[in-house]
Each structure stands twice: as C-alpha cells, then as structure tokens.
Amino acid sequence: MAIIKDLKKGTFVRINNEYYTIVDYAHIKMGRGGAVQRVKMKSVKTGAVTENTYNPDENIEIVKVNEKPMQYLYKEGGFYYFMDPTTYEQTPLAEVIIKDTLKYLKEQMTILVLMADEEILGVRLQNSCELKIIETEPPLKSARISGGLKPAKLETGAIVQVPLFVEAGEVIKIDTRTDEYISRVQ
C-alpha cells in the first residue's frame, strides 16, 4: 500500500481486484478546501480510461510488476502471439494490452511483458529499435546534418520525423519512448 500522492505515471495499481495503469495525475488545490489528487487510470482489461479524485493521503494498492522478455512471433485474428525464449511456450495477447506498442512492433522483436500475480498487465518495448524507412521524400542536396525534419513511413506503418538527408530504404534507430529519430544504422 502507498498513499495517492506517491503515484507516478505508468505505475500499476489494483482497485477492487482490477488492474489499472496511471495515465496522468494532478495535484489540485481548491479555494478554501483541502487539496485533492485527480488521477486518470486506464483499465488493463478493457483499455477504458477513467478519472477519479482522491484525498492525497488516501491509501492505494500499488502492484509489484515483474518483467519477462518475450519474442513477438505473429498476429492471428485479434491476438498477437509471443514466445518465451527459455521454455518456447507461446502466449497470445489481446490488442488492448499491447495497443500502445503496435507502431514499432515487428516479427522477431524482443519485448518485455509486464506481469503481476501471473496476470499480464502490459508490454514495454526496448528503449530504442531499428526499423527500415519504406517511404519518405527524396533527400535535398542542400540538406545538412543539423537541418530540418521531414516525415518518414517505417516498415511497421509508424510515421516519424527524420532529418532531410535520410533516404527511403535506410534503417534508422528510433527512441520508442519519445518517437524521435536517433541515428542511421550502418
């Protein structure tokens, strides 16, 4: 148990035997009354976002999350199949659980599956990934390393901003947390 004011974005909590992840929170000071903590939470099971108001000193159950590396294999129907590299056991995950990572997910990629009490709460990508550009504007002759940016479509369908000198067909490294271009991969 922890108090509400100690919550952080991305923390998993359990309320009435349901798991939620903290999407956003704000400490709000009312005029004459006491302060409150407004918390936006996303249900792990349904993906629905709810907003609740709590007293900053209220207790809430924070869930201890274990990370397990798994390899993405394929998609079938509404499920994405992952394999445990040590046991070769395959686990199907519903799209609602991995929705936030789909724009960078490709076959054979290793991700971290977040678990608590043998229940899967979500997934997290590595901090960076390497993907091929399939479509972008041709590079400008006057483009410099520190020049502007242009949109580029990646092999997973994600669109990111890349420097003007980058060409279609190149493999680039992207920060999956910020969606920012890091470098070209040689």
Residue with tokens 């608590």: 116
Q: CATH classification of 66-124 is 2.40.50.140, yes or no?
A: yes
Residue ranges matching CATH 2.30.30.30 in the chain: 2-62
CA angle 3, 177, 20 (to 5 degrees): 35
Fold of domain 129-184: OB fold (Dihydrolipoamide Acetyltransferase, E2P) (2.40.50)
| Backbone φ, ψ for residue 65 (5° rounding) | -105, 135
Residue 36: what pLDDT? 84
pLDDT along the chain (186 residues), means of 10: 76 88 84 82 87 84 90 92 94 86 91 88 89 89 69 92 90 91 89
How are the residues of the chain apportioned to helix, strand and coil, as percentages rounded to the nearest 5? Answer: 5, 55, 40
Residue 182: what pLDDT? 92
Residue 107 and residue 74 in contact, taking contact as beta carbons nearer than 8 Å: yes
Residue 143: what pLDDT? 57
User: What long-range pairs does 39-42 form, CB within 8 A, spacing at least 24?
Assistant: 39/4, 39/7, 41/13, 41/15
Which CATH code fits 2-62? 2.30.30.30
Residue ranges matching CATH 2.40.50.140 in the chain: 66-124, 129-184
Residue 28: what pLDDT? 83
